[in-house]
């Protein structure tokens, strides 16, 4: 039977068609009324829709399938179900089947256009809508009561505590506070000197100054980048059976750290991750391809289609959960069972990312202001020197009675320069090549501003005389995909001669073409040796732009300075000087450009996207244009929208100030990582299955404040850190002022979600490891670049990883810089719920197991750190055992031991040794927890 979604009313465009021979009211409606139902009987009473009503017919099926395809009964779900013999899918589900003549009536009605009286009015009256809180516009609420100490956050928290009949605890002591803010914001303990300085500074403004100091530190970017990398499933290997390394994926990780440290506006942070290639920030699109990727492709086309669907599902699901808190993946096979998301919406969003592919591409380096000026000067200097050299070449040619020839073509890279010409397309006609079928790895066409307008990601389309079949690395689409090398090249299907054409998205003046057979220099065959480039003019005529006629013969290339011998003595000296200067300037330009490769994805113009029946690639239905979730509007894009424009428009919509989810989701994540639990405790699910906010007004106030601040993450962090809620006592240890009602509070709110106290929590694996390296004094603070390994690697077709047993300075960096390997984790910190990047991890679990204690006491890493710390304590505290214990407490806890602790510590050191004492402190709750 056809099930109706209780929460969504999808819009099906009512197409006005002339009435056919079948009368809906007299012939069709009686058949539907007697035999066809949209849902179980009890549901009919709740939504009031039946298939004998126009509204019920337009509403369609919960599977995402429309009931009919106008003009084609054979493709219509309604006909398939009334004729089905499958008990799960036939209609009516019980009783007698439709008579043959009744089926004929339904078919005739559909084939005749399926006209229904009043369908326009019915469609207009049933827009897709929802009253779920997270889809409602963000409205800044009134702050309740008097703002305590100037903090709006505390006013909202205080109002909720009053509503629940609870009283807040007092403020934590200063040692606890300084330790807390460093652990939360940096993932590191403060040094004893930093802690002592704050404890002794009793000025009212001391806390605010400490907050600013913490926010300004680069350690903040490293700490909070690790949180974000969890959300976006980042790792440095592909996963799956081969689990190959991605040695250049770290560019994305470094970009995240830098973005957080510079307090990049969050809306910009989001846009760059989705369309950074269009914004000049190449590393940011590493987000799109950060997930697992199966490089083992199947010869079975059906399995290959399914693999591609899995890749796109990862992009859609991660984008929707990370930025919108929506579980879009649930709509892959049918309309979302709980949230207002249609199956069509899933595939519309899939179409946005349909041109994104896993792989490396060049990362343009962003030049600073001074570097940009230097680059402009160098390029101007190089252009002048080239003119000088060209003049000497002409002189040499004239002296020998000939014409100066350009260098012969080569396999790696060739350049054609000509007068700026307005064209709508460029055709490369190859009349001869060095052997077999011609090959081109990339065809770049540059406009007057130096932009490559040939890229498929910008809307350009490649055509050719034919392409060699059976070789997936030699496809036509590779000729303008922005990637070079033999593995991403085009080979013609005819020997010696061929043509390839790039149709530009718009007419533009071009002045330079760069092409090659293999930019990586590994292959030198199949090089075009005789050719011409032509441009398509406004009148449809082809104009020659450049040819091979003015080049030296292929294979007969003379040395670049051979012409100098034909010059007079004075000119020869000047020509050699000009050639030397040009080589030096070109080397400086190359060094300053410094482009590197990174695992940040590649882009190509995709084919059209179809909604897939039950998510099956073999069952495509109607075409779907790239778009957003219907309940939140439309972008109005066409099915053939240029690839890059799809992502640019989606990113702009996602970061619009009126978007109901983007700001709410991010401020909730900030709250979650500071307090250990979000205002919404399901940080990546703001749908009906997610938790409701404990403080809805506070959430909206923060979201609005976030946008008003220019999307400043640091601003929101500052507001929270300065609040009394953050400075609250955790209720652990000695009683503090205001603690009298804590037992009643625990009965009402044991988890502390209403902020009557600061709820203690165990640190994550990375913060524990970094803290251990900090107290031992060997934490290496160098940032960026390739990650360090905690695994030994055996390289075969299938990679093998084995946990290291020996560690040295190379492994003593912060753990955010670890080379993260999917499907395996290191032998020590994996027990602390450390994810491997196999899936998104918006909220880590916090287990408590015996293995954690064993790892922190007996592992080779801990034994090594204990030995290093032992040396530090002897060096800094001398031979006195009591002094060693006091120094250890200062490093581990930022405090001195009390009398009992000192006595027990001395006894243990004397009985078991200083190393064992250090290992015991590694296992203490005060070291492992934020209080």
pLDDT, one tens digit per residue, over 224-233 is 999 999 999 9
| Below-70 pLDDT ranges, the chain | 1-21, 33-56, 58-64, 120-128, 146-150, 366, 522, 556-560, 590, 593-595, 732-741
DSSP 175-211: HHHHHHHHHHHHSSPPPHHHHHHHHH---TTHHHHHH
CA distance between the termini of the chain: 56
* Burial degree of 75 (CB within 10 A; 0-12, 13-18, 19+): middle
In whole angstroms, what is the distance from residue 682 CA to residue 892 CA?
A: 33
In whole angstroms, what is the distance from residue 22 CA to residue 619 CA?
A: 30
**pLDDT value at position 7?**
28
Q: Computed over its alpha carbons, how large is the radius of gyration of the chain?
A: 34
Query: Using a CB cutoff of 8 Å and minimum separation of 24, what contacts does 51-54 make?
Result: 51/2, 54/116, 54/117, 54/118, 54/119, 54/122
Whether omega before 92 lies within 30 degrees of 0, making that bond cis, reads yes
The conformation of residue 558, written as its DSSP 8-state character, comes to P
In whole angstroms, what is the distance from residue 254 CA to residue 817 CA?
A: 9
**pLDDT value at position 122?**
57
pLDDT, one tens digit per residue, over 119-154 is 766 555 555 678 999 999 999 999 998 665 669 999
Q: What share of the chain is helix, strand, coil (3-state, %, to 5)?
A: 45, 10, 45
Going by DSSP bridges, is the β-strand pair 620-624/602-603 parallel, antiparallel, or unpaired?
A: unpaired
How wide is the angle at C-alpha 286 spanned by C-alphas 281 and 288, nearest 5°? 110
Neighbours of 27 (CB within 10 A): 15
**pLDDT value at position 257?**
98
Q: Return left, alpha or beta for 660; rule: phi > 0 is left, psi -120 to 50 is alpha, else beta.
A: alpha
Task: Report the candidate in 656, 631, 790, 817 with the shortest Cα–Cα distance to residue 221.
Answer: 817
The conformation of residue 388, written as its DSSP 8-state character, comes to H
Q: Which residue has the tokens 């007057």?
A: 448
Query: Using a CB cutoff of 8 Å and minimum separation of 24, what contacts does 467-472 make?
Result: 467/491, 467/492, 467/493, 468/437, 468/492, 468/493, 469/493, 472/297
* 3-state per-residue secondary structure call for 855-876: HHHHCHHHHHHHHHHHHHHHHH
The conformation of residue 74, written as its DSSP 8-state character, comes to G
Helix (H), strand (E) at residue 98: none
Distances in Å between the alpha carbon of 520 and those of 484, 516, 524?
7, 10, 10
- Phi, psi (rounded to 5 degrees) for 304: -65, -40
Q: 646 Cβ partners below 8 Å, 6+ apart? A: 351, 352, 353, 354, 355, 626, 637
**pLDDT value at position 40?**
35
In whole angstroms, what is the distance from residue 534 CA to residue 427 CA?
A: 5
**pLDDT value at position 9?**
27
**pLDDT value at position 864?**
96
In whole angstroms, what is the distance from residue 196 CA to residue 186 CA?
A: 18
Task: Report the candidate in 760, 612, 30 with the shortest Cα–Cα distance to residue 316.
Answer: 612
In whole angstroms, what is the distance from residue 525 CA to residue 496 CA?
A: 12
**pLDDT value at position 18?**
35
Task: Report the candidate in 828, 726, 843 with the shortest Cα–Cα distance to residue 768.
Answer: 828
């Amino acid at each position: 039977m056809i099930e109706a979604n209780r929460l969504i009313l999808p819009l099906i465009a009512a197409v006005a068609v002339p009435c056919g021979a079948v009368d809906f009211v007299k012939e069709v409606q009686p058949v539907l009324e007697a035999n066809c139902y949209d849902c179980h009987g009890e549901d009919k009473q709740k939504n009031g829709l039946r298939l004998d009503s126009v509204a019920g017919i337009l509403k369609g099926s919960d599977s995402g399938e429309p009931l009919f395809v106008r003009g084609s009964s054979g493709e219509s779900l309604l006909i398939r179900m009334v004729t089905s013999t499958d008990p799960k899918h036939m209609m009516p589900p019980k009783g007698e089947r439709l008579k043959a003549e009744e089926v004929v009536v339904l078919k005739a009605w559909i084939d005749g256009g399926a006209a229904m009286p009043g369908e326009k009015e019915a469609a207009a009256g049933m827009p897709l809508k929802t009253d779920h809180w997270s889809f409602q516009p963000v409205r800044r609420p009134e702050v309740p009561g008097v703002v305590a100490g100037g903090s709006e956050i505390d006013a909202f928290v205080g109002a909720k505590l009053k509503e629940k009949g609870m009283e807040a605890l007092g403020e934590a002591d200063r040692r606890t506070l300084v330790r807390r803010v460093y652990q939360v914001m940096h993932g590191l303990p403060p040094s004893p000197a930093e802690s002592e300085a704050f404890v002794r500074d009793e000025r009212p403004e001391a806390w605010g100054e400490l907050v600013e100091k913490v926010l300004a530190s680069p350690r903040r970017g490293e700490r909070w980048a690790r949180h974000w990398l969890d959300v976006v499933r980042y790792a440095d290997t592909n996963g799956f059976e081969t689990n190959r390394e991605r040695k250049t994926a770290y560019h994305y990780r470094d970009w995240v750290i830098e973005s957080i440290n510079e307090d990049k506006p969050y809306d910009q942070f989001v846009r760059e991750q989705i369309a950074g290639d269009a914004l000049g920030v190449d590393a940011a699109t590493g987000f799109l391809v950060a997930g697992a990727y199966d490089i083992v492709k199947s010869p079975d086309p059906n399995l290959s289609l399914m693999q591609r669907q899995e890749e796109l599902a990862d992009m859609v699901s991660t984008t929707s959960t990370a930025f919108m808190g929506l579980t879009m993946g649930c709509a892959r096979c049918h309309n979302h069972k709980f949230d207002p998301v249609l199956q069509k919406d899933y595939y519309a969003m899939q179409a946005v990312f349909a041109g994104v592919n896993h792989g490396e591409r060049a990362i343009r380096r962003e030049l600073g202001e001074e570097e940009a000026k230097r680059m402009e000067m160098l390029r101007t200097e190089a252009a002048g020197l080239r003119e000088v050299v060209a003049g000497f070449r002409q002189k040499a040619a004239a002296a020998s009675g000939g014409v100066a020839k350009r260098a012969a073509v080569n396999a790696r890279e060739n350049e054609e320069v000509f007068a700026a010409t307005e064209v709508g397309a460029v055709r490369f006609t190859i009349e001869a090549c060095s052997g077999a079928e011609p090959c081109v790895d990339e065809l770049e066409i540059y406009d007057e501003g130096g932009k490559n307008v040939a890229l498929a990601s910008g809307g350009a389309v490649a055509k050719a005389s034919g392409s060699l079949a059976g070789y997936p690395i030699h496809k036509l689409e590779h000729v303008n995909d922005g990637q070079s090398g033999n593995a991403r090249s085009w080979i013609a299907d005819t020997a010696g001669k061929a043509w390839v054409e790039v149709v530009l998205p718009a007419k533009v003046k071009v002045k330079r073409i760069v092409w090659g057979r293999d930019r990586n220099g590994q292959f030198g065959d199949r090089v075009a040796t005789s050719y011409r480039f032509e441009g398509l003019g406004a009148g449809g005529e082809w104009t020659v732009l450049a040819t091979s006629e003015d080049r030296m013969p292929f294979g007969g290339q003379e040395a670049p300075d051979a012409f100098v011998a034909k010059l007079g003595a004075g000119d020869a000296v000047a020509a050699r000087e000009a050639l030397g200067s040009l080589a030096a300037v070109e080397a400086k330009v190359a060094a300053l450009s410094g482009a590197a490769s990174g695992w940040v994805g590649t882009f190509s113009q995709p084919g059209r996207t179809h909604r897939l029946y039950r998510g099956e690639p073999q069952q495509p239905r109607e075409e779907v244009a790239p778009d957003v979730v219907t309940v939140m509007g439309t972008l109005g894009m066409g099915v053939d929208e240029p690839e890059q424009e799809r992502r640019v428009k989606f990113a702009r919509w996602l970061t619009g100030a009126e978007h109901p989810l983007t700001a709410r989701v991010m401020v909730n994540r900030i709250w979650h990582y500071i307090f250990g639990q979000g205002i919404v405790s399901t940080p990546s699910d703001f749908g009906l299955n997610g938790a409701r906010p404990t403080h809805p007004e506070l959430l909206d106030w923060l979201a609005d404040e976030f946008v008003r601040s220019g999307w400043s993450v640091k601003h929101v962090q500052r507001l929270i850190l300065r609040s009394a809620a953050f400075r609250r006592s955790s209720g652990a240890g000695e009683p503090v002022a205001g603690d009298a009602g804590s037992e009643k509070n625990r009965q009402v709110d044991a988890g502390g979600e209403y902020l009557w106290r600061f709820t203690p929590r165990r640190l994550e694996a990375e913060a524990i490891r970094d803290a251990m390296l900090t107290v031992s004094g060997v934490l290496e603070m160098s940032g960026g670049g390739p990650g360090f390994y905690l695994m030994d690697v055996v390289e075969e077709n299938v990679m093998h990883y084995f946990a290291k047993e020996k560690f040295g300075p190379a492994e003593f960096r912060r753990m955010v810089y670890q080379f993260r390997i999917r499907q395996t984790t290191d032998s020590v910190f994996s027990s602390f719920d450390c994810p491997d990047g196999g899936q998104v991890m918006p909220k880590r679990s916090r287990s408590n197991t015996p293995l954690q204690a064993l790892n922190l006491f007996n592992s080779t890493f801990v034994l090594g750190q204990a030995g290093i710390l032992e040396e530090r304590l002897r060096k800094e505290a001398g031979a006195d055992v009591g002094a060693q214990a006091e120094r250890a407490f200062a490093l581990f806890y930022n405090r001195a031991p009390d009398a009992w602790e000192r006595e027990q510590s001395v006894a243990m050191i004397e009985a078991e040794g200083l190393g064992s004492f250090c290992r015991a402190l590694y296992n203490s709750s005060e070291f492992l927890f934020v209080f």
